[in-house]
Amino acid sequence: MASGTVPTSFSSLKTWDSNLGFAKNVDFVRVSDLKSMKAAKKRVSIIRNSNPGQDIVELQPASPGSPLLVPRQKYCESLHKTVRRKTSTVMVGNVALGSEHPIRIQTMTTTDTKDIAGTVEQVMRIADKGADIVRITVQGKKEADACFEIKNTLVQKNYNIPLVADIHFAPTVALRVAECFDKIRVNPGNFADRRAQFEQLEYTEDDYQKELEHIEKVFTPLVEKCKKYGRAMRIGTNHGSLSDRIMSYYGDSPRGMVESAFEFARICRKLDFHNFVFSMKASNPVIMVQAYRLLVAEMYVQGWDYPLHLGVTEAGEGEDGRMKSAIGIGTLLQDGLGDTIRVSLTEPPEEEIDPCRRLANLGMRASELQKGVEPFEEKNRRYFDFQRRSGQLPVQKEGEEMDYRGVLHRDGSVLMSVSLDQLKDLATVDSILLRELPPLDDAEARLALKRLVDISMGVITPLSEQLTKPLPNALVLVNLKELSTGAYKLLPQGTRLVVSVRGDESFEELDILKGVDATMLLHDLPYTEDKVSRVHAARRLFEFLSDNSLNFPVIHHIQFPNGIHRDDLVIGAGSDAGALLVDGLGDGLLLEAPDKDFEFIRNTSFNLLQGCRMRNTKTEYVSCPSCGRTLFDLQEISAEIREKTSHLPGVSIAIMGCIVNGPGEMADADFGYVGGTPGKIDLYVGKTVVKRGIEMEHATNALIDLIKEHGRWVDPPAEE
């Protein structure tokens, strides 16, 4: 990959390219001495590096063969191990946030903020569960007035947990509540900008500057008040509520999210206010991860060290919500990013604390141990823009009896480890790992396996089993030692091989893969490893494969121990395998847990692929966690909608309690069910409202009718 260095002190111009993922003000420089630039008039964009003493920036093509050069930006402390990013300390009441402190846990109340007694009771339950911080929605003057009583009542009851005011559309309300709450969350998409209408706006430079001046005028009083009272602030961008101004200028993109937050941060810095944190939330974990990485990359360039609040918004409920949160939050924690986290679930807020703590513990342990691998050069991973590395799916070879093309799925494969007694009840997966083959004289079991092979399901078995009890057309599992000793050569010629690797072997040991025709690789690092990171070992493995033009499909194989908690399994799989899949690294999963039932493991695997935007096997729900703005019982309605629509794979439905993030988050959904006014529902197709003011009792059926109108409905399978 061509690269070079150029001075950074060049005059600044504007760019309208919405795909770069960097800040609005960039430098255009002429490059004539780089081989990739053949014409002197070619322009390349770079970002000025404002760190003292750094006068040059390394450039690389934006994509292979591209004439556009961009900086190789740093987005975390280390690419080969988990090292927590160094941040300043931000005080939220009596709780310190930042890299010198534990990862803080927080949630948000769901009560009506005007219900003082109910809100106080919920805050106390949350605090008793172990939360460090709690957020409360404050949408108007009455709610702001109630906040004073909420705070005073809690103090009288000896609850000093810091309280955060969640502000949308209401600068005057923020000013009022800053007098009593410890932190103010502002949403840059709607604090000073008007509500998004999803219109493409045209701006001159003067027009845009006037908009920025307007934001500064509206925002400055709140900054000054926070300074006066010693309050903290979260500049919290939501992918679903970017303003039309930002979307018109930068696109509906992670880059737009970062710039939206930076506009507010620059005002804070101008006023010498630094007690703030950033967040970059989205309901899509892939977008969420990209946005946080871009944010941190920009902060490294600017020399900023503000802490991060991590979260996947509208994650949903149950295992779905935990999985999406694990994918997004867990990925970043293993990159050493994140200082406070929230797992947003469509459940009572106190139920968020336990999975939140499990994730925080995972992140703290990884950074304390600095889990990783030996340093390696990483040149091929695209960590700012998703680009999937698709392994070469099996192709049929002349003379083969079995059709091996079905052993892996193009959108992501699910493999399962099964025992002989599970063969009869085997649900649909792509391939199975059978560690023990039936005896040669067990005709019934052999026939069951033959039927699986006949429908192109892959049956993988260890080398020792295949040598002693051969199964026709089985795929044989071997490790690098068995390859190096030549033991696999005892198999009939043409036998399909599956190779298990740890990923942290020396490149000399991995070189043997160059001479092997493997159907797939299983990346299998023992769960008991304390110091070696599964994520970094896999990234290293993919780097080796790319450097050597080896296009084997790679399956993430995780063997969990007996007795693991179900939430730890979901969060562990989401964090370890999800962190790779969101970067497009991997072709499927093989999760094992000896004491967990088959359906749970299978469903977890499919949920993980769907959460990483790979393989859709069920209806996708974008469901907000509820708050004081919610206009209906979100848990009850969500369960009702799921019951009637959960059989629609490929269909995405947003269930939103109010309008704050509704239309924007529904960019990621086909249909939307949104609280419009008390007792009334608005229905959306994408971002567009198509039916307003539907009575609650008729709204679910109206949603089903809307799905039918657009040809996306199928009748549920008949119950047997």
pLDDT in tens, 658-674: 665 555 556 678 898 88
Lowest mean per-residue pLDDT among 366-370, 579-583, 611-615: 611-615
Mean pLDDT of 626-643: 75
For the stretch 681-705, what's the b/e string if a residue is b when 16 or more beta carbons lie within 10 angstroms of its beta carbon? bbbbbbbebebeebeeeebbeebbe
pLDDT band for position 592 (cuts 50, 70, 90): very high
Q: Identify the CATH number of the domain defined by range 104-307.
A: 3.20.20.20
Mean pLDDT of 434-457: 92
Is residue 14 predicted with pLDDT exceeding 90? no
Is residue 138 predicted with pLDDT exceeding 80? yes
Is residue 171 predicted with pLDDT exceeding 60? yes
Is residue 235 predicted with pLDDT exceeding 70? yes
Quote the tokens at residue 708. Answer: 């039918």
Is residue 64 predicted with pLDDT exceeding 80? no
Mean pLDDT of 417-439: 87
Per the rule left: phi > 0, alpha: psi between -120 and 50, beta: everything else, 237 is beta
Is residue 712 predicted with pLDDT exceeding 60? yes
- For residue range 489-536, list pLDDT tens digits in order: 999 999 999 999 999 999 999 999 999 999 999 999 998 888 999 999
Mean pLDDT of 616-622: 83
pLDDT band for position 184 (cuts 50, 70, 90): very high
pLDDT of residue 3: 36
Report which listed range, 34-43, 120-129, 296-305, 444-453, is most confident: 120-129
Quote the tokens at residue 293. Answer: 């990485």
pLDDT band for position 425 (cuts 50, 70, 90): low
283 with 31: CB under 8 angstroms?
Answer: no
Lowest mean per-residue pLDDT among 44-48, 212-216, 562-566: 44-48
pLDDT band for position 537 (cuts 50, 70, 90): very high
For the stretch 268-278, what's the b/e string if a residue is b when 16 or more beta carbons lie within 10 angstroms of its beta carbon? bbeeebebbbb
pLDDT band for position 455 (cuts 50, 70, 90): confident
Percent of the chain with pLDDT over 70: 85
Identify the CATH class of 413-612.
Answer: alpha beta
Mean pLDDT of 41-60: 38
DSSP β-bridge partners for residue 104: 340
Quote the tokens at residue 242. Answer: 């970017």
Domain at 620-710, CATH from 3.40.50.800, 3.30.413.10, 3.40.718.10, 3.40.605.10 = 3.30.413.10
d(CA 294, CA 385): 10
pLDDT of residue 625: 60
Q: What is the pTM assigned to this prediction?
A: 0.85
Quote the tokens at residue 324. Answer: 């999406």
Lowest mean per-residue pLDDT among 32-41, 116-125, 459-468: 32-41
Q: Where in the chain is the domain with CATH 3.30.413.10?
A: 620-710
pLDDT band for position 36 (cuts 50, 70, 90): very low
Q: Which helix (H) or strand (E) holds 173?
A: helix 171-177
Is residue 76 predicted with pLDDT exceeding 60? yes
pLDDT of residue 66: 58
pLDDT band for position 53 (cuts 50, 70, 90): very low
Is residue 343 predicted with pLDDT exceeding 60? yes
For the stretch 2-20, what's the b/e string if a residue is b when 16 or more beta carbons lie within 10 angstroms of its beta carbon? eebebebeeeeeebeeeeb
Q: Which helix (H) or strand (E) holds 580?
A: helix 578-581
Is residue 265 predicted with pLDDT exceeding 50? yes
d(CA 388, CA 380): 11
pLDDT of residue 620: 83
Mean pLDDT of 173-198: 87
Q: Where in the chain is the domain with CATH 3.20.20.20?
A: 104-307
Strands 25-30 and 43-46: antiparallel
Q: Where in the chain is the domain with CATH 3.20.20.70?
A: 413-612
Is residue 106 predicted with pLDDT exceeding 70? yes
- For residue range 277-323, list pLDDT tens digits in order: 999 998 889 999 999 999 999 999 899 999 999 999 866 667 888 99
pLDDT band for position 229 (cuts 50, 70, 90): very high
Residue type, 183: K
Q: How many residues in total does the chain contain?
A: 720
Mean of the per-residue pLDDT values of the chain? 85
Mean pLDDT of 354-374: 95
Lowest mean per-residue pLDDT among 204-218, 332-346, 515-529: 204-218
Mean pLDDT of 575-599: 95
Higher pLDDT, 8 or 113: 113
pLDDT band for position 650 (cuts 50, 70, 90): confident
Strands 413-418 and 431-434: parallel
- For residue range 213-228, list pLDDT tens digits in order: 999 999 999 999 999 9
**Residue whose C-alpha is closest to residue 590's, from 609, 605, 608:** 605
pLDDT of residue 147: 97
* Residue pointed to by tokens 């799916």: 393
- For residue range 112-132, list pLDDT tens digits in order: 999 999 999 999 999 999 999
Cα within 13 Å of Cα(75), Cβ side = 21
